[in-house]
Amino acid sequence: MKTHSDMSHKYLRQAGFARVGLIIGIVAVVLVAWGLLSRQRASAKLEQDTQAQLALPVEVVQPKASGGEVALVLPGSVQANYQAPIYARTAGYLKRWLVDIGTPVKAGQVLAEIDAPDLDQQLHAAEAQLANAEATLKISQVTAERWRDLRSTDSVSQQEADERVATAAASLAASDAARANLQRLRELSGFKSIVAPFDGVITARNTDRGALINSGSSSGSELFRIADTRSLRLYVRVPQNYAASMADGLQADVFFPDRPGKTYTAKLDSTSSAIDASSRTLLAQLIVDNASNELLPGSYAEVHFKLGVATAASMLRIPANSLLFSGEGLRVATVTGDKVVMKKVTLGRDFGNEIEIASGITAQDRVIVAPPDSITDNIQVRVTQGDDAKPAAEKGAKS
């Protein structure tokens, strides 16, 4: 027969087994829950990594403020302030030339002389014709006066008197014509001496002694070329983006290949006030002082403008390869979070590696560098570089 002590021991053993089973069950449940949670986390991470790998890798920059002063370097062509070809006004043979290339001359100075025997003969004939016309005029006037007196006494008819008066008038006209012709030939004879039209330097001589000279520019060739080089005209074609900066009085530094290490100053004189449709440029004319005659007309020059633009401070610059051209106009791709946001922009000035943006983006935008043409709004992207706030200047230099 079981005692009370035996029943107590049995009950304690059963309670212990139940407690152990409960603990084992709890541990099993915890292990299962932890396993499920770990698997879920691993699956989520795998999905996240997969999405990250599928996202388009991009590099971004932040726009930088455009500076208020721009250095613009353009090629220029130098011409003399005044230059002119010199042609003969009378035909003949070159008797002699008195100046050669590089000779400074004054206005009115004789450059060459022409021997024109045909013109001399025409001049002598004109003098004789004038003398004959004046003699005929004198006789006609005396005759007309006598016939007027005779008419007062009815000794001659009115018709005869009128004929003598008309003859005198015709003789006067013939005398005036002969005098004008003589004056014309005298002026042509004066052109036998070829003179300088203004102070300058002879830059070309295209004739020699004994050469046949034809008059005029259509049938004859230029004998000399003269240029006033005390100041020079510098012509520069300015891109349309900078046309508004070409204000009166603007100065530029000018460099010449044949004068290394020397800087000359040019002042804007005028512009063509029109954009060339073929090149989209504005022709600007600057004046360079050349009192020392160091600079040569026809030279190539490198012109450095320093343009201060008041609105530049409110504009931004981005790398030029950030622009996208489409049927919707010019746009840039920006990143917000991990999504692409396309923004339409308005261009300012072109600096080569960089483009100035007048409107459409802010300084806080992250602009994608060299985006693919297929990029659109809401595409998921992955920024690849560590610092996505590099200045646009650094990224532009890298590109």
pLDDT for 152 equals 81
pLDDT for 6 equals 57
pLDDT for 54 equals 63
Most confidently modeled of 28-37, 48-57, 261-270? 261-270
- The number of residues in the chain equals 399
Q: What does the alpha-carbon distance between residue 395 and residue 379 come to, in Å, rounded to a whole number?
A: 23
Query: pLDDT above 90 covers what percent of the chain?
Result: 39
Q: Is-contact 55 338, C-beta < 8 A?
A: yes
Closest to 82 (Cα-Cα) out of 243, 231, 277: 231
Residue 275 DSSP SS3: strand
Q: Give the DSSP letter of residue 391.
A: B
Tokens standing for residue 262:
């020397």
According to DSSP, the residues that pair with 74 across neighbouring strands are 303
Q: What does the alpha-carbon distance between residue 203 and residue 228 come to, in Å, rounded to a whole number?
A: 10
Burial of 329 (0-12, 13-18, 19+ CB in 10 A): exposed
pLDDT for 149 equals 78
Place of tokens 């003589």: 182
pLDDT for 67 equals 64
Burial of 395 (0-12, 13-18, 19+ CB in 10 A): buried
According to DSSP, the residues that pair with 324 across neighbouring strands are 331
pLDDT in tens, 162-173: 888 898 899 899
Phi-psi region of 108 (alpha: psi -120 to 50; beta: other; left: phi over 0): left
Where do the domains of the chain lie, and which CATH numbers do they carry? 57-66+313-398 (2.40.420.20), 84-195 (1.10.287.470), 228-311 (2.40.30.170)
pLDDT in tens, 42-81: 666 655 555 555 678 889 998 888 765 667 889 999 999 9
Query: pLDDT above 70 covers what percent of the chain?
Result: 85
Distances (CA, A) of 36 to 29, 42, 47, 195: 11, 10, 16, 110
